[in-house]
């Protein structure tokens, strides 16, 4: 047997160049991005403290997650406010549509914090639906007048067939705006403002 007969059939094909490989990598990355955008929540894996915080929601009406900077407090709160629960979810599950609030000190901080996490980059409307609320269930939104790119609230499809609503609020709007109606969920960024929302929360069932 000659040496040419032992060669693999495609060994004559040129090997890919670096630019071919880079092009393929870019294509794969954009396909990965396309397939995963809008489903961020389902890849959330809380670590032990976050899990404990979620689990406490099944039995407590109010919870406080007090922890160091940049350890995932806002993310954990936002995942609860996204209204969807993966099979492993250890906390409170709402089997009916609910009304909720999420907020922090100012409209701008609420927009750049919890709105960005739940909906997507505030300045890029084309990417609303890439946050924690699954894109397929983000049905509608309303802008907040007077604050660029800030949302007043979103409407989210609930598994029961109804619709849940989440309003974005800020403490600078004052106590009365938070107490306007009874809510099932309130996600607030600071514990010294718990009293503001306490009286508008419905009892846990």
Ligand X SMILES: Nc1ncnc2c1ncn2[C@@H]1O[C@H](COP(=O)(O)OP(=O)(O)OP(=O)(O)O)[C@@H](O)[C@H]1O
Contact 128, 120 (CB under 8 A): yes
Rounded Cα gap, residues 68 and 160, in angstroms: 37
Residues at the site binding ligand X, with contacts judged by CB under 6 A: 45-47, 50, 69-75
Judged by beta carbon, residue 71 or residue 142, the one nearer ligand X is: 71
Report the nearest approach of ligand X to the CB of residue 91 (Å). Answer: 14
Cα separation values, 203 from 29, 43, 59, 61, Å: 46, 30, 11, 7
Give the tokens for residue 58: 């099944």
Contacts with Mg ion by CB under 5 A: the residue count is 2
Of 50, 74, 115, 165, which lies in the binding site for Mg ion, with binding defined by CB under 5 A? 74
Report the nearest approach of ligand X to the CB of residue 187 (Å). Answer: 12
Decide which of Mg ion, ligand X, none touches 130; Cβ closer than 5 to 8 Å per partner kind.
none
Judged by beta carbon, residue 56 or residue 75, the one nearer ligand X is: 75
CA 125 to chain centre: 16
Decide which of ligand X, Mg ion, none touches 191; Cβ closer than 5 to 8 Å per partner kind.
none
Rounded Cα gap, residues 77 and 148, in angstroms: 24
Decide which of ligand X, Mg ion, none touches 71; Cβ closer than 5 to 8 Å per partner kind.
ligand X
Rounded Cα gap, residues 93 and 85, in angstroms: 7
Report the nearest approach of ligand X to the CB of residue 75 (Å). Answer: 3
Report the nearest approach of Mg ion to the CB of residue 90 (Å). Answer: 22
Measured in residues, the chain has a length of 205
Give the tokens for residue 125: 């409307």
Report the nearest approach of Mg ion to the CB of residue 187 (Å). Answer: 11
Decide which of ligand X, Mg ion, none touches 42; Cβ closer than 5 to 8 Å per partner kind.
none
Decide which of ligand X, Mg ion, none touches 6; Cβ closer than 5 to 8 Å per partner kind.
none
To 10 degrees, what angle do helices 48-56 and 73-81 make? 40
Rounded Cα gap, residues 169 and 151, in angstroms: 9
Q: Point out which residues bind Mg ion (CB under 5 A).
A: 73-74
């Amino acid at each position: 047997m000659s040496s040419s007969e032992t060669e693999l059939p495609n060994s004559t094909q040129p090997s890919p160049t670096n630019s071919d490989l880079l092009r393929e990598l870019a294509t794969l990355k954009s396909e990965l991005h396309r397939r995963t955008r809008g489903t961020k929540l389902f890849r959330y894996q809380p670590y032990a403290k976050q899990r404990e915080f979620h689990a406490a929601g099944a039995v407590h009406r109010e919870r406080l997650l007090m922890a160091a900077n940049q350890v995932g407090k806002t993310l954990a709160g936002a995942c609860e406010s996204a209204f969807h629960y993966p099979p492993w979810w250890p906390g409170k599950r709402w089997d009916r549509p609910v009304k909720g609030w999420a907020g922090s000190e100012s409209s701008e901080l609420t927009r750049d914090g919890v709105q960005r996490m739940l909906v997507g980059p505030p300045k890029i409307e084309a990417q609303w639906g890439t946050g924690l609320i699954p894109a397929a269930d983000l049905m509608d939104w309303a802008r907040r007048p007077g604050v660029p790119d800030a949302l007043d609230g979103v409407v989210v499809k609930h598994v029961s067939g109804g619709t849940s609503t989440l309003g974005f609020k800020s403490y600078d709007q004052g106590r009365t705006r938070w107490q306007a109606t009874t809510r099932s969920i309130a996600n607030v960024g600071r514990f010294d403002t718990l009293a503001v929302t306490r009286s508008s929360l419905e009892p846990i069932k």
